[in-house]
Structures are given as C-alpha cells and as structure tokens.
Amino acid sequence: MTAPMPEPVRASLAESVNDQPHRAAVPSEFEFQVTHRDAQTKARRGWLQTPHGAVQTPVFMPVGTLGTVKGISQEELEQLGAQIILSNTYHLYLRPGEEVVRGLGGLHRFMAWNRAILTDSGGYQVFSMSALRKLTEQGVEFRSHLDGSLHHLTPERAMEIQAALGADIRMVLDECTEYPAGMVAARNSMERTLRWAGRSLVAWRKISEEGRETGPGLLFGIVQGGVFPDLRTRSAEFIRRLDFPGNAIGGLSVGETKAEMYAVLEVVDSILPEDKPRYLMGVGAPEDLVNCVLRGVDIFDCVLPTRLARHNAALTRYQRLNLVNSVYARDPQPIDPTCSCYTCQNYSRAYIRHLITAKEMLSATLISIHNLYVLINLTIDMRQAILKGRFDAFVQDFMERAKTGQ
C-alpha cells in the first residue's frame, strides 16, 4: 500500500490542473484511430494523423538526438520508411538553442525532415547527462555537459522549448526514476512527475492558445512509478484523469528485468484509455517490440540500432553480428541474406568489415541503415499480422525463431 499524497502535492495539483477543464484540446490537424485489435493479445493497429503525415502504428521512431539520426541523411531515412523520428529537447536547447531553430522555421524545416517529429522533454538527459543537478518542486537546476553553464528546466520551460522546436508530439517534463529505487524514492519521484505533468498540460494549452508555438503539437503524459505496481497504478490513473492526447510509459529499460517491464505494461494497459496512442519510451530491441506490442504499445524509440551500428554490431530480428569479427573478412554474403535493405542489397559482410577496420565512416552509415530497417520492417510485419488477424501466430513464430537465432 502506498501512502496518501501529502498535502502540498494536492494543493499544487489543484492549483495547476483542477481549476482547468481536464479535457486536453486536441488540435484539429491530429487524429488517432485504432483500426484493428488482435483477438488474443492487447496488440492494436492504428494510425496517428499529424500535420506531417500519417503515422501507422505500431511504429518505431529512429532517434535523431541533435536533429540528425547519426550517420544517416534525411533522404536515406525517408527511403527506409521512417514515419516519425525522436529528437532530444535537452540537446537542441543547449545547441543550437531553441530560438535559433524557431528562427529557422522550426525543427522540421531546420533539419529538412517533412515527416513527423516527437521531442522528449529534456528531463531524462538532465538526470542522466548533466552535472550538479539541484532538484526542487519548481524544476531542476543543472550544468550543461558541454560547457558547465548553469540552466534551469521547469515543466513550463520544457513546454516553451518544445513549442519553439514545433514537434508534432511533445512530452511533459518528468523525473525518470532511477533503478533500483526504493519505494519511498520511487513514490516521491512519481508524485513530483504527476505534479509536473499537470503544470506541463496547463503550460502547453496556454502556449497553444496564445499562438506561441512554431506549429501545432500534441502533448503526451508520462506514467512513472518504477517497478512498483501500486505506484504505476496511481500514476496511470492520475495521467488518465488529465486526459492527454496521448500517453507514455517512462522509466523502463533502465535496468529492470524483462518480467518487471512486462508486469508494468500489464498494470498500465488496463488503466490508460484505449483510444489514445501509447508510447513506451526508450525501448527498441526486436524482441521487446514484439513483447510490448502484444501488451498494447503503439510507439517505440531507441538509440539501439544506430548506437550498435557505430560499434560495428548488426541486428537481425533474432541475433546480433559483430562485423569486426575476422570470420567475415572474406564473407561475400550481405549482413542478412533475407533482408531487402539498401545495405544488404548491395554490400557484403567482407566490405563492411573492411570499412570498419579502415575506420571509414561508411560502415556506421551502412550498418545503421540495416539496423533501422530491421526494426521498421518488423513493425510493418506486425501491422500486417494484426490487420490479417494472425498476430498470435506471428508471435509464436517469432519466439520459436528467436530460440535458434534464425
């Protein structure tokens, strides 16, 4: 059992949320529809209309931290079939600064990406990258990891920055609970995140009403609460009441077991509204995508495919290849002979290994293209399977193959 919320929290929530209509107005450019549901699992197929095109769900978002998916051009990203990418508010705020981006027409135009963009709140990076953090109810004071300069981030400021960037989906400022965390720490963190969610919502609405955003965008709430079912339940219930246009599950893939992650998803699934998109933050290994789609997740992001690529590791659905391995020195096969990506249609393992040993940039580009394709292609197959009513068979087959690695 968790303790009741202490008084200051209630007051703060009342202040920020309760005197506002709870229903978050969804800009007319947006629409979300679930078109198919799997009979056996929680998997669902749908689409999210944005001013930058429709996003078919379930979807995987490549991560473009600084307004570029590392090693890939925007043309290559389009050819890969990426429908939406994630960019990081913390990084873009520090460099080049959100006002520079706004002045250049917003993030889409700045980076020449005409499809959808989601920006995170900056919270995760403040807690994981910056130094000398001072956390208060108001927000967080931190020093830049670049030059040590002092900055403040509040829920309101996170909304201002994201409005300047003009992403199609924006995230409330949250505190990502560290793992492992005790119950009290997890609860305090979760409760603060809820108060910040309310303030974020108010600020988002105000900025939108005052026309101070580069373009319209949806705001997603974030469920926190560590691995504690009680905390996740309370967090999800509160987030549901705020009625965001979309909801995210944060604080996972931070060290907990897969069983713990799945348990959290199952708790949250029964609480979050079914007619809103659900985004599982920072998760993206192939087996995670399958296991979490079947637990009702619509949207994923992860640095895994591009980060692995820069460390010479190629993904397939069922295994990983370390391409620097000398067994590939004369291997004429593509990374995956069954893959249709640009890399596999043109280049051998031997060539890519050669690029790696010669420290040529093209290795990261080619492996990134392949790795992203693997995840994007997996979501395409899952969407098809849900649509055709055979997702259960798809999952069975996937799990069987995962055991043997092919």
Catalytic residue positions?
120, 301
Looking at beta carbons only, is 309 or 315 nearer to its own copies? Answer: 309
Nearer to its own copies, 28 or 326 (CB): 326
Distance CA 68, CA 362 (A): 16
Binding to its own copies in span 361-400, by CB under 8 A: 361-362, 364-366
User: Measured between alpha carbons, how far is 43 from 388 in angstroms, rounded to an integer?
Assistant: 12
Using CB under 8 A, pick the residue from 355, 372, 385, 386 that binds its own copies: 355
Work out how close the CB of 281 gets to its own copies at its nearest, in angstroms, rounded to a whole number: 23
Q: Does 144 bind its own copies (CB under 8 A)?
A: no
Omega prior to 96 cis, within 30 of 0: yes
Q: How far is the CB of 360 from its own copies (least distance, A)?
A: 5
What binding mask, one character per residue, do residues 71-100 give for its own copies by CB under 8 A, x or -?
A: xxxxxx--------------x---xx---x
Query: DSSP alpha helices (H): ranges in 316-404?
Result: 342-346, 349-357, 362-387, 391-404
Q: Segment near its own copies (CB under 8 A), from 47-55, 101-109, 173-181, 317-325?
A: 101-109
Q: Residue 285 CB: number of other CB atoms within 10 A?
A: 18
Which residue, 48 or 107, has its beta carbon nearer to its own copies? 107
Q: Give the CA distances from residue 282 to residues 72, 136, 240, 299, 336, in Å, rounded to whole numbers and listed in that order.
A: 20, 25, 21, 10, 25
Nearer to its own copies, 220 or 351 (CB): 351
C-alpha torsion sign, points 215, 221, 226, 229: negative
Nearest to 9 by CA among 187, 140, 171: 187
Place of tokens 């008084």: 7
CA dihedral 293, 299, 303, 304 (to 10 degrees): 10
- What's the min distance (Å) between Cβ of 114 and its own copies? 10
**Sole window of 162-170, 227-235, 244-252, 342-350 interacting with its own copies (rule: CB under 8 A):** 342-350
Residue 311 within binding range of its own copies, rule CB under 8 A: no
Q: Could you tell me the CA-to-CA distances from 193 to 58, 238, 357 in Å, in that order? A: 26, 11, 46
Residues that bind its own copies (CB under 8 A): 66-68, 70-76, 91, 95-96, 100, 103-105, 110-112, 329-330, 332, 342, 346-348, 350-351, 353-355, 357-358, 360-362, 364-366
